[in-house]
Amino acid sequence: MRRVLPAVGASFEQRVELFARRSAELHSDFRLVRDWAELIAGLKKLRDTEGWTRLATHAGALTEPAAAALSLPVLRTDQPYDKTALEQCPVGLSECDALIAQTGSVLVSSRSAGGRALSVLPPHHVVLARRDQVVADLPEAFALLKAKYSTGYPSMISFITGPSRTGDIERTLVLGAHGPKKLTIFCF
């Protein structure tokens, strides 16, 4: 039998190494950082390099202090907001439910990622994750969801596997055609 997906090691290091490799293959920017201070320094460097003028985000244990540290005007997607204003934000900052090593995917839900639009409309999506959110495969991701949301599943779950892409135009890969052109994942 031909194996389509790679085998996943049991250790955290093996899972992270596979997630990093799969992310790179998918044109995602995965950054494993030592601690919160290094995560904030990385966000500030992105802000300065890309010239972010404002930020879209949602209420969350990671997103709120990160947004405050960036000292930018914030559009909150967990409150009533203008869709056009969200489209004009250069970056969307969200949390996630899991990072799936085997596929290099980020698992988000309507509860963890501030709704459906935050991970789709801004041209750069930045995800914040904790080390304990790195899982081996889809069955482990669904088990995590079941445990986390046992009293009621979110209205939406989505697997983000790299930035938006299409190959429709003369079979040439184009990033950002139907969503974010860039995907950056910080894990601490």
pLDDT in tens, 95-154: 999 999 999 999 999 989 888 899 999 999 999 999 999 999 999 999 999 999 998 889
Looking up residue 86, the CATH number of its domain turns out to be 3.40.50.10420
CB 110 within 8 A of CB 155: yes
**CB burial of residue 187 (10 Å; 0-12, 13-18, 19+):** buried
Give a yes or no: residue 63 inside a domain. Answer: yes
pTM confidence score: 0.91
Give a yes or no: residue 92 inside a domain. Answer: yes
Give a yes or no: residue 151 inside a domain. Answer: yes
d(CA 157, CA 87): 21
* Host H or E run for residue 98: strand 98-100
Residue 166 pairs with which residues in a beta bridge? 174
Half-sphere exposure of 143 (CA within 13 A, CB side): 9
pLDDT tens-digit readout, 153-173: 899 999 999 887 666 666 666
Give a yes or no: residue 7 inside a domain. Answer: no
Give a yes or no: residue 1 inside a domain. Answer: no
Give a yes or no: residue 3 inside a domain. Answer: no
pLDDT tens-digit readout, 26-42: 999 999 999 999 999 99
Asked if residue 176 has pLDDT above 80, the reply is no
Count the domains in the chain: 1
Give a yes or no: residue 58 inside a domain. Answer: yes
Q: How many of the other CB atoms lie within 10 Å of CB of 70?
A: 21
Asked if residue 89 has pLDDT above 70, the reply is yes
Asked if residue 1 has pLDDT above 80, the reply is no
For 132, the domain range is 12-187
d(CA 169, CA 20): 28
Give a yes or no: residue 179 inside a domain. Answer: yes
Strands 174-175 and 165-166: antiparallel
